Amino acid sequence: MHEDAPRHARALLINGTVGVGKTTVAEAVGDLLTDAEVPHAVLDLDWLSNSWPTPPGDRFNFAMLVRNLRSVAGHYLDAGATHLVLAGVIEEQAERKQLADAVGVDLTVCRLRAELPFIHQRLTHRHGSETEALQWHLHRSGELDGILSRAAVDDFTIDTGTGSVTDIALSVIRAAGWQ
């Protein structure tokens, strides 16, 4: 446990393929925690690894993400956050352990899931005429969906194909035992 973290502090990673709604749902979970007056922080993990070039053998710069998360999570916990909401991707148990070690508090992992045609529609809307980016994301969504299904790194799964973002966020909070 992080040495200065409140004893009941915990973290939740919202995991899933590209386009499934990780960041949107994480923000909605944050909004619900704000409404409930729960001290928290919401972090999009993509920004903690966003640098170029990435090291050989670390395609998505996961080592940098972990280094940055250790620091940032510690600052939020030191400032009194009791709940850390993370939006990002882990593909294997070793990555889950590294994230848990980095945040220094209990980590629960939620996988958001939707049918690929639904995700492809979202990605097409998001990327529009950016053909190269759209093609990469369309390919990666299917590839990553398969990886995540086989890896089984999640504690529970929530479907994002139906319901409002708020309803989905509420389902995540309930399944995580945060309400």
Could you give the CA distance from residue 61 to residue 66 in angstroms, rounded to a whole number?
9
pLDDT for res 4:
57
Does residue 7 have a pLDDT over 70? Answer: no
Interval 13-20 mean pLDDT: 91
Q: Among 179, 168, 175, which Cα is nearest to 27's?
A: 168
Asked if residues 179 and 173 have their Cβ atoms less than 8 Å apart, the reply is yes
Per residue in 82-138, pLDDT (tens digit) is 999 999 999 999 999 999 999 999 999 999 998 888 888 888 888 877 788 888 888
10-174 under CATH 3.40.50.2000, yes or no: no
Does residue 2 have a pLDDT over 60? Answer: no
Per residue in 33-80, pLDDT (tens digit) is 999 999 999 999 999 998 889 889 888 889 999 999 999 999 999 999
pTM of structure: 0.90
Asked if residues 105 and 40 have their Cβ atoms less than 8 Å apart, the reply is no
Could you give the CA distance from residue 14 to residue 157 in angstroms, rounded to a whole number?
10
Q: Among 91, 85, 69, which Cα is nearest to 17's?
A: 91
**Tokens encoding 60:** 């998505």
Interval 4-32 mean pLDDT: 90
What residue spans define the domains of the chain? 10-174
Could you tell me which residues come within 8 angstroms of residue 124 by beta carbon, excluding any fewer than 6 positions away? 134, 138
Could you give the CA distance from residue 9 to residue 64 in angstroms, rounded to a whole number?
24
Instruction: For 11, list phi and psi in degrees, rounded to 5.
Output: -130, 150
Does residue 5 have a pLDDT over 60? Answer: no
